Amino acid sequence: MKLRIAPSPTGSLHIGNARTALFNWLYAKANGGTFVVRIDDTDMERSTEEHQKNILENLQWLGLDWDEGVDVGGEHGDYRQSSRFERYREVAHQLVEKSFAYEDDGAIRFKVPKDQTINFKDFVRGDMSFDTSDVEDFVILRSDNSPTYHLASTVDDVDYGITIIARGEDILSSTPKHILIMEALGADLPNFCHLPLLFGPDGKKLSKRHGDTSVKAFRDKGILNDAMFNYLCLLGWSPGDDVELFDREFAISKFDFNKVLPNSAIFDEKKLLWLNGQYIRSTAYDKFLKDALIKVEENLNRALFPEENERLNKILPSVQERVETMNDLQAQVLFLLDEPFLINQEEWDTVNSEEAQKYLNNIRKKFIDLEDFNLENIELLMRTALEELEIKTKVGFQSTRVAITGTKISPPLFESIFALGKETCIARLTESIEKLTN
């Protein structure tokens, strides 16, 4: 059993292609089959080395590996169609010799027999039947001597011994053409499986106009590969029993093409984000910490200073609980970085009051005298101040939050203060009080 994914390097890895690759991979893994990755770069105009690299990289990022194909090798060369043009030309001319095709203004066209029925079984859609009278003669070799997709893809599938062709439904209508070529070549027919397409929120085939739909774009947004893998599995398939969070191994153990739905699915970023949050929270803290620090440095475009590192180490456990993507980190920890400290004036106005100012002055003095600046003492100090001044928790705490972090939204207050450290905390209070009381 051999399956394949054959992306064209005319763009970076698209989510739809990633999902198709994923299902092929799952089926191969589930059944001990061979998974092949080859590159369909017959479109010389638009194919680039860079796109190819991006595609392979992102397949790997998703956790997909392949037994045969580009980069890993195998019996069929480098698995790039651009390396096999001679082979396709040979086949095209062979087909002309055998009268299956004919020359047409310099190109070679496949001669489609009329009034014939093409039958094949589709793993997702059942028995399919097409009338060849509805299929027009199609070009297999262009006048510039380059093969078209129909020719190259079919020849490769035959030459490489692909036994299950699972691809997007957009190619369903082209399948009779491919079968016709295979029959002309005297090849055994593989099984087919046309997977439902992924749509954008507008119900149209997911494409560039729905924004950036590349896997890389989501990766850049701070989506975890495990979450992306999991989410993609859920589009058109489910392992049953209402299970929605699972890993690769579990998916493999449950996957089958005949459980894949035939109808297209809309890519819903909201659910992906939720799933991502679930994965972030269930990540082992050590790994989260490591990834988080890298991410912050990336966003900052510089290395972290030692004291910043120390502060982040203190706050990150709380942050892990409240981010949806790795990119959300930045906003949560910004106040701990050696970057300009800015207070959101509008937010301050909503928490500012005479009481608040009294409170800030009071805890500032107390902090200066506090010897052991630990979590427990910070909380005790702040609560004591509330009682002494008879100020409501919310009034005292929210104004402190804005005074220290600059905004009303931050990680838990005591943790934030503790992470920031005594000196900086006092400095912030001083600065805020000065700036905000007049």
For residues 340 to 369, the per-residue mask of contacts with RNA, x marking binding by CB under 7 A and - elsewhere, is ------------------------------
Comparing C-alpha atoms, which of 394, 418, 392, 417 is closest to residue 405? 417
Q: Does 210 bind RNA (CB under 7 A)?
A: no
User: Torsions phi, psi of 219, nearest 5?
Assistant: -60, -45
Closest distance of CB 306 from RNA, Å: 26
Which lies closer to RNA via its Cβ, residue 270 or residue 287?
Answer: 270
Q: Does 155 bind RNA (CB under 7 A)?
A: no
Q: Which stretch binds RNA (CB under 7 A): 191-199, 215-223, 303-311, 334-342?
A: 191-199
- 248 to each of 5, 62, 166, 233, 237, how far by Cα in Å? 18, 10, 19, 9, 14
The least distance separating RNA from the CB of residue 323, rounded to whole angstroms, comes to 7
Is 208 a binding residue for RNA by CB under 7 A? The answer is: no
Q: Is 208 a catalytic residue?
A: yes
Identity of the residue, 268 or 302, whose beta carbon is nearer to RNA in the bound complex: 268
Q: Identify which range of 53-61, 111-119, 201-209, 363-371 contacts RNA by CB under 7 A.
A: 201-209
Cα–Cα nearest to 428, from 348, 353, 354 = 348
Catalytic residue among 114, 204, 208, 435: 208
Show contacts with RNA in window 241-260 (CB under 7 A).
Answer: 242, 244, 259
Q: Which of 73, 113, 262, 317 binds RNA (CB under 7 A)?
A: 262
Does the footprint of RNA cover residue 325 (CB under 7 A)? Answer: no
Question: How buried is 282 (Cβ within 10 angstroms: 0-12 exposed, 13-18 middle, 19+ buried)?
Answer: exposed
What the block records as the tokens of 63 is: 């956790």
Among 97, 115, 144, 390, the residue binding RNA under the rule CB under 7 A is: 144
Q: Are 126 and 185 in contact (CB under 8 A)?
A: no
Residue 283: CB atoms within 10 Å: 17
Among 125, 210, 216, 422, binds RNA (CB under 7 A): 125
Residue recorded with tokens 């929210």: 398
Which residues inside 265-284 make contact with RNA, applying CB under 7 A?
Answer: 265-266, 268, 270-271, 273-274, 277-278, 281
Of 61, 85, 120, 138, the one binding RNA by CB under 7 A:
138
Query: Is residue 222 at the binding interface for RNA, with CB under 7 A as the rule?
Result: no
Q: Are 220 and 231 in contact (CB under 8 A)?
A: no
235 near RNA (CB under 7 A) = yes
- By CB under 7 A, name the one of 80, 87, 142, 366 that touches RNA: 142
Spell out, one character per residue from 14 to 53, where the chain touches RNA: x when CB under 7 A holds, - when not. Answer: --------------------------x-xx--x-------
Which span (21-29, 94-102, 132-140, 361-369) binds RNA, by CB under 7 A?
A: 132-140
Angle at 47 between CA 44 and CA 49, to 5 degrees: 120
Q: Catalytic site residues?
A: 208
